[in-house]
């Protein structure tokens, strides 16, 4: 079976070149061709010797996940469903704005963490994505978007920001995610700054500490509740890593973070976590941590059992936070009509945990 070169960062490509008897500088050339130029055809890599091109064609491929579907919403949000084999599909979403273009990348097929309000979590879990499947989402999107992109005021290229906020909990697929982050940051690949690459976690504390040491990119933490009793229900991993410990990990992370704040995500669920009293409790919870709050109107999906908070409830909640001096934004809901909004990435998951069956049974009951 051919080796997929999308699986390698700079170090991995150097190892691969050594194995086929090539000098280390060939790895840098390859990295540039693959990721900067988006080239998948070895014959087109004009500064590689013919003998090397033939060797590469015989031993290796550059193969991202295959596109199953490609939809663009009226607001420009674009979503790809990509096949990762054996009937599984993952989703990647591009959100263009005037001054930036954000790509939302998946890290797993499904998710094992089963957050109560999450469409991905509802589907169960199949497996971690490989590096080629993670970075392949960026490789593919960058290639197709670059073909049509004309540089705009505010940005020179289509993708300026990455958020690891698609399907899955990135920090439970640590090594593959970090190798992918290395590629995103590598000047010979995508050359993004750490500030523009965000990992979003539900709070896997030991992995947050490892990320801080290994590759401290910007961090978003899915909070969703102002106390342990409610968070235990909404984000079950809280039972293992409760809020006090989670906030301690956030403080440690800030010592190495590329930004001087943590983003806290808070999905707004009608009658569940959106009262004024809960907003006050949230203020007390995070008051000692430099942070920004991002309120996310819930995106309903079939049988979710939750409703989106009213616009009034969201405003009231935001006002309490802002009056307490917390920088707070309300996420614009984009791509609704193609189910590309936060928490709606569903892909196609052949559940190995059988949770999907249990949820359907629970909903039915």
Tell me the catalytic residues: 91, 342
CB of 42 to ligand SF4, least distance (A): 36
Beta carbon nearer to ligand SF4, 39 or 228:
228
Closest CA to 174 of 207, 209, 136, 131: 207
- Contact status: 178 vs ligand SF4 (CB under 6 A): no
Q: Is 143 exposed, middle or buried (0-12, 13-18, 19+ CB in 10 A)?
A: middle
Cα angle value 280/313/288 (rounded, 5°) = 25
CB of 154 to ligand SF4, least distance (A): 30
| Annotated binding-site residue? 227 | no
Beta carbon nearer to ligand SF4, 173 or 202:
202
| Annotated binding-site residue? 126 | no
| Annotated binding-site residue? 124 | no
- Contact status: 170 vs ligand SF4 (CB under 6 A): no
- Contact status: 351 vs ligand SF4 (CB under 6 A): no
173 CB contacts (<8 Å, ≥6 apart)? 107, 108, 128, 129
- Contact status: 111 vs ligand SF4 (CB under 6 A): yes
Piece of 13-21, 106-114, 246-254, 316-324 that binds ligand SF4 (CB under 6 A): 106-114
Beta carbon nearer to ligand SF4, 17 or 90:
90
* Residue 279: φ, ψ to 5°: -65, -40
Beta carbon nearer to ligand SF4, 12 or 121:
121
CB of 257 to ligand SF4, least distance (A): 20
| Annotated binding-site residue? 71 | no
CB of 74 to ligand SF4, least distance (A): 26
Beta carbon nearer to ligand SF4, 115 or 326:
115
Q: Which of 48, 73, 115, 197 binds ligand SF4 (CB under 6 A)?
A: 115
CB of 202 to ligand SF4, least distance (A): 4
CB of 230 to ligand SF4, least distance (A): 15
Q: Which of 64, 168, 297, 335 binds ligand SF4 (CB under 6 A)?
A: 168
Interacting residues with ligand SF4 between 203 and 262 (CB under 6 A): 222
111 CB contacts (<8 Å, ≥6 apart)? 118, 120, 121, 123, 125, 167, 168, 169
Q: What residues are paired with 291 via a beta bridge?
A: 262
- Contact status: 321 vs ligand SF4 (CB under 6 A): no
- Contact status: 169 vs ligand SF4 (CB under 6 A): yes
Beta carbon nearer to ligand SF4, 10 or 341:
341
- Contact status: 199 vs ligand SF4 (CB under 6 A): no
| Annotated binding-site residue? 224 | yes
Piece of 11-19, 93-101, 111-119, 301-309 that binds ligand SF4 (CB under 6 A): 111-119
The single residue listed with the structure tokens 């690891």 is 164
| Annotated binding-site residue? 104 | no
- Contact status: 121 vs ligand SF4 (CB under 6 A): yes
Q: Residues interacting with ligand SF4, by CB under 6 A?
A: 111, 113-115, 118, 120-121, 168-169, 202, 222
């Amino acid at each position: 079976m051919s080796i997929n070169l999308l699986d390698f960062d700079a170090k991995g490509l150097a190892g691969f070149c050594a194995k086929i008897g090539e000098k280390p500088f060939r790895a840098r050339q390859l990295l540039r061709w693959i990721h900067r130029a988006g080239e998948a055809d070895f014959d087109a890599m004009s500064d590689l010797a013919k003998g090397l091109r033939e060797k590469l064609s015989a031993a290796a491929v550059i193969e991202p996940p295959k596109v199953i579907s490609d939809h663009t919403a009226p607001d420009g949000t674009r979503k790809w469903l990509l096949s990762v084999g054996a009937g599984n599909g993952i989703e990647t979403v591009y959100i263009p704005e005037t001054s930036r273009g954000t790509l939302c990348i998946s890290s797993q097929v499904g998710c094992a963490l089963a957050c109560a309000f999450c469409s991905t979590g509802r589907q169960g879990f199949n497996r971690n994505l490989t590096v080629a499947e993670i970075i392949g989402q960026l490789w593919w999107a960058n290639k197709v978007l670059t073909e049509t992109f004309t540089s705009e005021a505010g940005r020179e290229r289509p993708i300026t920001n990455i958020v690891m906020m698609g399907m899955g909990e990135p920090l439970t697929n640590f090594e593959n995610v970090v190798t992918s982050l290395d590629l995103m940051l590598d000047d010979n690949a995508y050359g993004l700054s750490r500030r523009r690459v965000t990992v979003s976690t539900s709070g896997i504390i030991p992995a947050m500490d490892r990320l801080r040491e290994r590759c401290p990119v910007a961090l978003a933490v899915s909070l969703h509740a102002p106390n342990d009793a409610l968070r235990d229900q909404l984000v079950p991993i809280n039972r293992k890593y409760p809020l006090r410990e989670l906030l301690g990990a956030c403080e440690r992370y800030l010592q190495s973070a590329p930004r001087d704040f943590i983003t806290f995500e808070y999905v707004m669920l009608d009658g569940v976590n959106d009262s004024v009293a809960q907003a006050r409790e949230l203020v007390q919870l995070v008051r000692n941590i430099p942070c920004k709050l991002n309120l996310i109107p819930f995106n309903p999906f079939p049988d979710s059992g939750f409703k989106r908070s009213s616009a009034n409830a969201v405003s009231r909640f935001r006002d309490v936070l802002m009056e307490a001096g917390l920088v707070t934004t309300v996420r614009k809901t984009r791509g609704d009509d193609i189910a590309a909004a936060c928490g709606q990435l569903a892909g196609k998951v052949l559940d190995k945990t059988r949770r999907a069956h249990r949820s359907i049974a629970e909903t039915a009951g």
